[in-house]
Structure 1
């Protein structure tokens, strides 16, 4: 059965697409069959890695509205090691019409959860990228997941938005469990972590307060994505960051070390050594 992980935040520009793309590529190099789903009206993930021509003629809209799981999948040129693969459902809704369709369809918010189960025998992991704003499409993505991952830059405004917006979204969607769509555990990922005292203090505060009343439902991961140029450079070249920066001098971990550590925390059943 494929593990579905949704990368979500109610704040834009926090690194969701970068995390989704690079985590997916690293998993593919571990031999995993990975499907990326671009559920953002701004189709950044759809162009993150090169795609084999021709791309699929259909994408996210047909996947959700018609349950079409075949002709909606494109293949990236990122060939994983040991038989791994990295496929992609393209975002094709620049005008946001899918949002209204989900809003006005009785089962709109839970449809994606049931549709993605049809990939269970094809993929090992499904990673869903989302928009940085509350809305029906983000709701559908969150409700489809077995696990939620929220990047959090160690800045006070981002930390407050995580506490207010993202956790508020989780609370708002909890009643959907009655429709067979319980909210998955949420993992916070410190993103663009620098070596300043302010960043360390915010990280410490998030970990200290996260969030004891949640009883493990919400945790901050030990892994943090450092503030280095490797991820931007790799994106410019359309290659996975762990391939671009396998080693790094000094105390800051390389992209390969970071993706390995992140995978070990999120998917401990995988041998990522």
Structure 2
């Protein structure tokens, strides 16, 4: 089982859309996929889940009957037990399952800075809090026999995303062809570099027994996917997108690939071929909604 995260702290680059599309593509190849909505905004969950069911789920997430990501990790965060099991939502028959997101994941994120500091001091509880999302993912993946876990995360470089990235096997950067996405790449590279180095220190301080259960801290950079949203600004947007598109590859190499490669070449195994795909604009992606389980709908994507 592998864990893959789509990560860019710049918002509006199509992370959730790409996550859903990749999940369907992997399912078409015969793989079993677990989707984990680790963004407190719950966009991935909102895509699949009827709003009335989502409202009910969020209202019960802090109870013993809860069925969200927060419901699963709350006992660990509260220091009152292990990861709580609940039935996941089958959003594509025998192929894709969803762990719903929760706005209360923001409460968990508030605990993470202290847990990070405590991990340097080799405190077991702080290890538990830092690693709990991946402990949860591995339990769910084993129970549903999935081949790959896809994390959909929020647009930031905060402690929640740090923990998710450090436990992932690999990550992909969705990038829009615009100035702000280009600028954000610098922060992506610096942040991941710092997280990897700091976590390596935490692992080196841990006992041999503790090291076996800690996050691996070795997320491989697979590359980036570009997109160009159609912007109605009273003038053609094609040329500006082409202008920024040409600047993305050298910026990725300079600010992400070279930075992570300086830690070890194994972090960037596909360099210099880091561009994975390009989507001209998300208006070209059309979903056809298909009924799934009761109260749920999923979509398969077709590029027109």
Q: Same fold (TM over 0.5)?
A: yes
Report what 1:211 is aligned to: 257
Question: Number of matched residues?
Answer: 236
Equivalent residue in structure 2 for 1:109, among 102, 120, 130: 130
Distance 1:123 1:189 in 2: 24
For structure 2, list consecutive stretches of 5 or more residues without a partner in the other structure. Answer: 58-64, 76-81, 116-125, 204-213, 230-237, 291-296
- Structure number with the higher helix fraction is 2
Report what 1:252 is aligned to: none
Structure-2 change in CA distance of 1:95 and 1:222 (3 Å): closer
Structure 1 window deviating more from structure 2 (97-106 vs 32-41): it is 97-106
Distance 2:111 2:289 in 1: 34
Contact 1:111 1:140 (8 Å CA) reproduced = no
> Secondary structure, in 3 states, of the residue corresponding to 2:34?
strand
In the alignment, is residue 138 of structure 1 matched against residue 161 of structure 2? Answer: yes
> Secondary structure, in 3 states, of the residue corresponding to 1:93?
coil
Distance 1:22 1:57 in 2: 28
Report what 1:73 is aligned to: 88
Taking the TM superposition and a 5 Å limit, the aligned residue runs for 1:144-155 are 144-155=167-178
Distance 2:6 2:227 in 1: 16
Structure 1 window deviating more from structure 2 (105-114 vs 23-32): it is 105-114
> Secondary structure, in 3 states, of the residue corresponding to 1:234?
strand
The structural deviation recorded for 1:22 is 1.1
**Highest Rg: 1 or 2?**
2
RMSD over aligned Cα atoms: 2.9
The structural deviation recorded for 1:151 is 0.6
For structure 1, list consecutive stretches of 5 or more residues without a partner in the other structure. Answer: 249-273
Distance 1:68 1:216 in 2: 32
Contact 2:35 2:150 (8 Å CA) reproduced = yes
> Secondary structure, in 3 states, of the residue corresponding to 1:96?
helix
In the alignment, is residue 168 of structure 1 matched against residue 214 of structure 2? Answer: no
Structure-2 change in CA distance of 1:62 and 1:21 (3 Å): same
